[in-house]
A and B are shown apart, each in its own frame.
Chain A
Amino acid sequence: MGTAKEVAEQAERDDIRLRWLLSAPALLIVFLAALGPLLIVVVYSFLTPGNYGDVKWQFSTDAWVSVLFERDVFDDTLSFATAYLSIFWRSVSLSLATTVLTLILGFPTAYFIATRPDHRRDIWLFLITIPFWTNLLIRTFAMQEVLRNDGIINSALQLLGITDHPVQLMYTNFAVLAGMVYVFLPLMVLPLYASMEKIDFRLVEAGYDLYATRFEVLRRIIIPLVTPGIVAGSILVFIPSLGAYVTPRVLGGGTNLMIGNLIELQFGQGRNWPLGAALSITLMVIVMVALLFYVRNTTRSDGAHG
């Protein structure tokens, strides 16, 4: 009896050791490639900017102060800075709008694919992933062709006589939003499809059988069951769009900056690495808070299951 117990305990110890051993490579990469650089960013945000970029190893909270405040050049008093805040605000609202629009467009798309016969779903999924084959930059410039003053939309509008002079689409928030929706749509469709595919469509039949109309079936059966996909898709779209860099740069021009562009500016022309680092961390905190809030709210409702 005693020996059997010892053997079992030994086996359990071996099992735990093996588990650590197997996850060691992944843990190593996480520590070296993610936490390490993150630590450097945190340290840099508390240093003094060098004259030609880089940093001076001198402790300073200036970077953090200037995220929120503006220091008056003459009397050193601090006043609330609205410049960065407005960029943060634009980023968050554009990202939210992108998430909502991709959800509205992606939901019927994913539902369409999930309800096709097995052999035809692969073709549709394949079509959805085709944009990934093209470089993001090229796709964004292609969007420019669509939105330009003499681009497809304006030519069509003028041809149809709806307007006699081109409507300014480029370098507006609309252009940035359109570009981001286009780029991030597959990232919404795929997780939505993944959870729709798992739905037992007999549940939909059961809903119809129990006097639910099409709208009620959507509201009370399909959407609650697809909630994990909606959460995953929203996260996958919201986070990268918050940090989007190429799209606002190309389609938004110099006037419609987002956080990504602002950070890039500090490391480039601005030559203020500590400020760039502080802004990066601010962005990360916003993302994490938004994520925690979102996940907690969606998993607490009765949408959670399984």
Chain B
Amino acid sequence: MTAMRPAVEAKGVTRVFRGTGQDSVRALDNVSVAIRENEFFTLLGPSGCGKTTLLRLIAGFDFPTDGEILLYGQDIAPLPPFKRPVNTVFQSYALFPHMTVADNIGFGLKMLGRPKVEIEARVDAMLKLVHMQELKNRRTSQISGGQQQRVALARALAPQPKVLLLDEPLSALDYKLRKEMQIELKRLQHETGITFIFVTHDQEEALTMSDRIAVMSSGNILQVGTPWDVYDHPAERFVADFIGETNFLTGTVENAGNGQAQVALRSGAKICATAAVDFRAGSNATLMVRPEHAKLVKGRGDLSGTIENIVYFGTDTHIHVRLDEGDVFMVRQQNSRSAGCGFENGTRVGISIGDDAAQLLKD
């Protein structure tokens, strides 16, 4: 793993959009990231965080104000898109409306000047890969959204790019189809062995599909890691808040070291937590506890409060507890078929936080 050269590498990439007059927008601010070969890499962040800008810089639709973009070590930043061996699946698919499904898929190969026989064979193989053989000669306006999605994928994969860029390709699909396509995309990535760079604002999608995720916010990459890293060991508060549901507690660090810390909460309880960076004893800090890592208890716990709301979700139940200090704390409890959640609105409960449940964050 260590010897592997990154497929795509951004080095100190900045992109400033000049607006009218004085205001200019810094869409990317000195961003550096290395994406490995054969990796399913996701750029995750809220809209306006710069994830699409970074993707467009890699595709060549836009050029960086500063910095380098390397493809297998070669700087491609000044090349026009038609000279880059990368292909894009667009958010709106951008299928050519005046061509058939087969012509769309074969377009890239045709532009590369491949012989007709090869193009036909490759188009057929692609149609088979995305299970669309019957619709070969249809116009793209005559097929459904999910089918268009498959054609867009096949079209981008047909020229066998070194890297496939996907710009929120699933956002236009309904929930069930999206789930199906997520699995489909994973399968395609596995079968083709192509590096996928996937842009999304949907954290659930990012967690289920990616090998690694880069969490972005206002032009910066905050953390790069596996889904498990970013979910359970977020580097900072924004990451913890953006990915999944989280409870935040404030407290004072009592003693810290070796990535561990003991924190005194305002309720008086002392909790053990892991720490992403070293904290000084005596400083104020934010503590993060995922709802599924806390437990409701009938007696005294680390925290205490009154149940305010119980929300049933099928697989689990979310119980909102108004803490004595005033904040709301959410606990997620797995459901069972035979018994209810065991608690009622308005009752006083304790919340127990396990040794491994909490993480200290920098703000």
Contact = CB atoms under 8 A, between A and B. Distances in A.
Contacts of B108: 210-211
A203 interface: yes
Interface stretch (B96-104, B180-188, B216-224, B340-348): B96-104
B61 A205 contact: yes
Contacts of A212: 82, 107, 111
B149 interface: no
A306 to B, nearest CB: 6
B105 to A, nearest CB: 10
B94 interface: yes
Nearest to B113: A211
A110 interface: no
21 contacts: A202-B90, A203-B96, A203-B97, A205-B81, A206-B96, A208-B61, A209-B81, A209-B88, A209-B156, A210-B107, A210-B155, A210-B156, A211-B108, A212-B107, A216-B111, A220-B107, A221-B96, A302-B99, A305-B97, A305-B141, A306-B97
Given A200-B92, A202-B92, A216-B111, A209 B97 contact: no
B94 A211 contact: no
A206 B88 contact: yes
B48 interface: no
- Nearest 7 A/B pairs, CB to CB: A210-B108, A211-B111, A206-B94, A208-B81, A202-B94, A305-B98, A224-B98
B90 A211 contact: no
Contacts of B95: 206
Contact of B82 (A203, A208, A303): A208
A303 B159 contact: no
B88 A211 contact: no
Contacts, number: 68
Contact of A210 (B80, B98, B111, B139): B111
Contacts of B82: 208-213
Classify chain B: how many residues form its interface, as a range. Answer: 20 to 34
A24 B159 CA distance: 58
Contacts of B81: 205, 208-209
B112 interface: yes
B304 interface: no
Contacts of B92: 200, 202
Interface string B113-132: 00000000000000000000
A225 interface: yes
Contacts of A306: 97, 141
A303 B98 contact: yes
Most buried by B among A206, A303, A305: A206
Interface in B82-96: 82, 86-88, 90, 92, 94-96
B215 interface: no
B161 to A, nearest CB: 9
B94 A208 contact: no
A295 B266 CA distance: 80
A224 B104 CA distance: 14
A7 to B, nearest CB: 35
B294 interface: no
B90 A210 contact: no
Contact of B159 (A210, A221, A225): A210
B111 A209 contact: no
B59 interface: yes
Q: Most B CB atoms within 10 A — which of A200, A203, A303?
A: A203
Interface in A248-262: none
A224 B100 CA distance: 13
The residue in B86, B97, B159 that gathers the most chain A C-beta atoms within 10 A of its C-beta is B97
B112 A211 contact: yes
Interface in A276-306: 302-306
B60 interface: yes
Contact of B98 (A200, A205, A211, A302): A302
A225 B98 contact: yes
A206 B97 CA distance: 12
Interface string A16-36: 000000000000000000000
Given A202-B90, A216-B111, 11 more contacts: A200-B94, A206-B94, A208-B61, A209-B82, A209-B88, A210-B82, A210-B107, A211-B108, A212-B107, A225-B97, A305-B98
A208 B141 contact: no
Interface string A183-222: 0000000000000000010110111111111001000110
A120 to B, nearest CB: 11
